[in-house]
Structure 1
Amino acid sequence: MVEKNLWSTASLMFLFLFISCLSPSVILADSWTMDELHYVSLNATTSGFSGLIVGTVNNFDLMILREGTLLRFVLAGLDIPQYDSSELYSRRLLSFLRSTIGLQAAVQRASSSEGTAAYIWIQLDGESYLIQSIVVSSGLGRAVGEGEIDLSNAEEYASKRALGIWDEEPDVVKATIQEDVHQAETKESLQNHSLLDAKLVISEIDIFENGEYAMIVLTASEGGRFDGSTLSIVSRSESRLDEDLFFFASEGVLEMQEQLKIFVTLDRSRQVTFDYDYLWESYLDPRGGYIRIRGRDGIETLFEYEYDRRISGFIVTPLD
């Protein structure tokens, strides 16, 4: 068994550093994903078909694009607790899985799952890393029984180091998070109580090259602050499930009818000839779908977009 330690300092999707001359550790970095990731290599051979990770469904399932077909997979061999935003490990797992969007993957279907579950390797600089081992080694989930790939060494590694779900003092983390959130909300209330919340609507959607990139235009039907608002791609089968989410973190105020442009792509290196305000590493289905806006006040509006041959473009319709 070789133990590898991964922690974040830049982009998980674009930065991979080998330090073979100093230690057997591998550093995998992403400043906005997690503070720390761990990896225990396993006696398993990369196999299966190749695909591109394009999204998440129901938080922890992965959407993979294979030769123009979208496939959904549950991560085989894992016991993942239900998502709890108050748990640090739960938020870390969600961030990690969403950061894999845009990565090439090798998908090995689990023989006992009728094709709905799989072991998935992500590809980085010619090296393959099993997602399940990253999850278990980092304490973000548990191994399930005797899976087709043995994750017991990874689980033992996380347990001995009290990582994630093996931390015996989770209440300390919870208390710190709750205190920080309360302080931030109090400060915001005192500083910005006189500002109204903007109401955002989707005024235009354009999708190019079969979904390789897209542009979402938001318009403020009412002026005010928009930080804290979210834009999410909604599951076509379950309207309450967000497949991916974009959070407006930076402070800002919009005037009535002022617009925001969000460029959507899985390849952030793509060169474009038009301007945009935000870049969202995600995927819009060119066949149509649903997008939800959740304002600062918590009010949600669901929009449907669909292609109309009469105008050779997309029509956006509010459903709420």
Structure 2
Amino acid sequence: MRDLSTKHLRAFVTVCDCGSITSAAAVLGVTQPALSTTIQQAEELVELRLLDRSARRARPTAAGLLLLPEARRILGEVKSATTRLRDLAAGRMGHISIATLPSAVDHILAPTLAAFKSTYPDIRISVRDALNAEVVALVRTGQADIGIGAHDETMSDIEQVTVYEDRFIAVIPVNHPLADDKDLTWDCLRNEAFIGGAAGSNTRAMVQKTLRIEEGESMIECSFVPTTIGMVGHGLGVSVLSELACRPFRNDPRIVLRELHPIAPRPIAIIRDPKSAETAAAALFMSFFQRANISGSAS
């Protein structure tokens, strides 16, 4: 036996709301005979009269009064489900996983996320902060839809769009002889005790390449920026970090931050794996993010 359909329920509710077949037919955009047929089909399915119909009026019967609130609820739920599915298809809801460098959160990611969530409140966001190598790995394995990391020209298989031009700077103990040097060069740091980043950090790779510091050579290894700052602040060595990473520590009285010459850029990019299927929500965020932050072009 067939059940009532949403077509039957919508026709019935509209007639109850309008009070007549004629008015309801106009609202639904159907002919009066067609609407009468739909109501008759509904009554045949439940084997009860749902409406008392006269020449000008149509009112719910006792059975109709029982059905009316349920019909409204069902139609509301169907409309809500349809809207949510359409929002999902359009990217207005869903889930986005983002892997990011910690240094990119405060200045780049968080302000954009605040604006994005205000516009698309039904999209769930998960953020995982990690070293650059892990950010790339999470994107490549599909564990993150989007990554925010250091632009790397050697990664030709990854889509990268530069969104911010960061740079490397020196972190010096305040009482160190180099603390007053306003024209600090990379060569000045070569023979200093050095506080370096953990394996997988693009800062560590840059320092080792530029200063030619080998593994284990006069280097104390730290995984996190606050740890590095603490080590430098207690005079255990000098370090090189990104300007973005150092911003929260600009007023730390134990250290001074100095420009390094020649300037070593550290472009920050939003990255994704073009081989991975892109969800509508992720595509929407990519577009939103680039409009809000873009300062370069895709590599």
* TM superposition score category, shorter chain reference: under 0.3
Name the larger-Rg structure: 2
Could you state the TM-score of these two structures normalised by the residue count of structure 2? Answer: 0.20
The structure carrying a bigger strand percent of its residues is: 1
Decide which structure has greater helix share.
2
Q: TM-score when scaled to structure 1?
A: 0.20
